[in-house]
């Protein structure tokens, strides 16, 4: 009788469901990006984009579904360690759409509209959780570098 050997490499990662959701990706509608370094004419309106977490889990990448000359019309990346997730701001005379949320990182703002409120909640929760972990990891690397440098 053979028994399968299992290797235990420590406690399971509590963020694994979030990693899986973000690495699988999703298609949402983008209004943006906006920022001080982005020309107003370059901003996209109601553009379908694919969002995916990079394999190294440090960048959230996006690219438009629309193509020109076999290339995405627009694309970009946001560092997860500088990412914050905000609710969409309401307008002067209207309430924000319940499926909208805003990603802010490195002087860039992306306003995204999910297909459903459930998708928005899942992505917003996952992004907030992995952003906290990324900040902690970045601080740990910074502290390690400064410690090695001082000795």
Reply yes or no: is the peptide bond before residue 113 cis, omega within 30 of 0.
Answer: no
pLDDT bracket for residue 1 (50, 70, 90): very low
115 or 151, which is more confident? 115
pLDDT at 30 over 70: yes
Distance in angstroms (rounded) separating the CA atoms of residues 109 and 85 = 10
pLDDT for the residue 34: 65
Q: pTM of the prediction?
A: 0.74
The two most distant CA atoms of the chain are separated, in Å, by 72
SS3 7: coil
pLDDT at 41 over 50: no
CA-atom Rg of the chain in angstroms: 19
Distance in angstroms (rounded) separating the CA atoms of residues 117 and 151 = 51
């Amino acid at each position: 009788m053979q028994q399968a050997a299992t290797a235990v490499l420590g406690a399971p990662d509590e963020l694994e469901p979030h990693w899986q959701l973000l690495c699988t990706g999703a298609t949402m509608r983008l209004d943006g990006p906006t920022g001080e370094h982005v020309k107003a004419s370059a901003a996209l309106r109601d553009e379908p984009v694919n969002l995916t977490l990079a394999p190294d889990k440090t960048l959230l990448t996006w690219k438009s579904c629309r193509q020109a000359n076999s290339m995405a019309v627009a694309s970009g990346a946001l560092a997860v360690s500088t990412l914050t997730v905000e609710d969409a701001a309401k307008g002067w005379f209207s309430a924000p759409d319940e499926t909208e949320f805003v990603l802010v990182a490195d002087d860039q703002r992306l306003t995204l509209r999910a297909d459903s409120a459930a998708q928005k909640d899942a992505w917003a929760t996952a992004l907030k959780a992995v952003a906290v972990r990324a900040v902690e990891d970045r601080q740990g690397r910074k502290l390690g570098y400064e410690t090695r440098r001082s000795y």
